[in-house]
Amino acid sequence: MTSTTTAAPPGADRGSGARPAGTGAALPWLHVAPALGVVVLWVYLPLLATLALSFFRWNLTGDERPFVGLDNYAALLGDPAFARAAGNTLIYALGLLPLAVLLPLAVAILVWNRGGRLRQAYRTILFAPVILPPVVGAVMWQWLLHPLLGVVNLALGGIGVGPQNWLGDRDLAIWSVIVVTGWKVFGLGFLIFSAALSGLERNQIEAARVDGATEGEITRAIVLPLLTPTILLMTFLTVTLGAQWAFSAVHVLTQGGPAGATDNLYYLLYRYAFGYFDTGTASALAVLVFAGFAVLALAQLRLTDRLGHDR
């Protein structure tokens, strides 16, 4: 938003004031009601409904719906799948960082700095995975990673590495799903960093170059500090949303397996709700996920804010 809000002319309105007389009190509400209405109907009411459902045992369609208090929460916390999914959620969030932040940052700087005439072509190719539907990408990756016929194993065989069961091996599977997810997220990170780079003032950098600074020094001393807010934003998005981004890949490639190795809280929630039709436990999990997510998002926002202001 920075690029656009700073475009405001100097005397631009900050908040609004005087209205010509005669506008009814209902007029403002007529403008905001449609947007507010759909958000209340499809976000806030469902949140409350989820909270309510978490205290009942129900199979989504049956007539019996006994109140069970906190039983669903107890059942959930006693389910080893929950602990595993929670741990994996963390692995997704942190494991995606190299592909979502570090590599896109490095590649964006290289393309910006030394891309030359190929800059536009690079950007076109590197961003393309973002617009491909996730399931389409996942299906294509499934073929690349096929244990017997996949080109990845064929290529590795060429350099003497034996075939790996990328999606079937308990230790490998989650990293395969992370790479497939990261393949898409990389493009987004690359684009965001490229946009931030093209917004930088060239003067300071040119001056440093004239003074004899090397590209490495310029990157470290000028470019990276200027990019700090963008780096923090991308880190924030990845840590907060990483496990959600992985959903389609998990669903297509592993369904959470083998033996829960690629499960995460969001996928577990889906399975409780529409695999086991255990509406109560799914809702209890949704409540916990939402609470944890809100705390994490707020904490990160505050941290990002503080780090951003120090610069």
Partner 1 sequence: MTVRELRATLSAHALVVLVCVFSALPVVWAVSTSFKGPAAIFAPDLVPADPTLDNYRATLATFPVARLVLNTGAVAAAVAALQLLLAVLAAYGLVRFRFRGGPVVLTALAAAIIVPQQCLIVPNYLLAAQMGWIDTYVGLAAPQLAGCALGVLLLHQHVRAFPRSLLDAAQIDGAGHATVLWRIVVPNLRPVLVALAVLFFITSWNEYLWPLLVASGTERATVQVGLQAFQTEQGNDWGRMMAAAVLVTAPVLLAYGLAQRWIVAAFVQGTGR
Map the footprint of partner 1 across residues 85-144, applying CB under 8 A: 103, 106-107, 110-111, 113-116, 118, 122-137, 139-141, 143-144
User: CB-wise, 229 or 258, nearer to partner 1?
Assistant: 229
User: CB-wise, 136 or 161, nearer to partner 1?
Assistant: 136
Rounded to a whole number of angstroms, the minimum distance from the CB of residue 72 to partner 1 is 12
Span near partner 1 by CB under 8 A; candidates 1-9, 64-72, 81-89, 203-211: 1-9
Question: Exposed, middle or buried, 209 (CB in 10 Å: 0-12/13-18/19+)?
Answer: middle
Residue 250 interacts with partner 1 (CB under 8 A): yes or no: no
Q: Which of 187, 242, 256, 260 binds partner 1 (CB under 8 A)?
A: 187
Rounded to a whole number of angstroms, the minimum distance from the CB of residue 45 to partner 1 is 7
Residue 12 interacts with partner 1 (CB under 8 A): yes or no: yes
Q: Which residues from 271-310 bind partner 1, rule CB under 8 A?
A: 273-274, 279, 282-283, 286-287, 289-290, 293-294, 297
Q: Which of 18, 63, 78, 211 binds partner 1 (CB under 8 A)?
A: 18
Tell me the per-residue interface mask from 23 to 42 with partner 1, x by CB under 8 A, - otherwise.
Answer: x-x-xxxxxx-xxx-xxxxx
Supply 23's token pair. 């506008």
Q: Which of 3, 83, 217, 308 binds partner 1 (CB under 8 A)?
A: 3
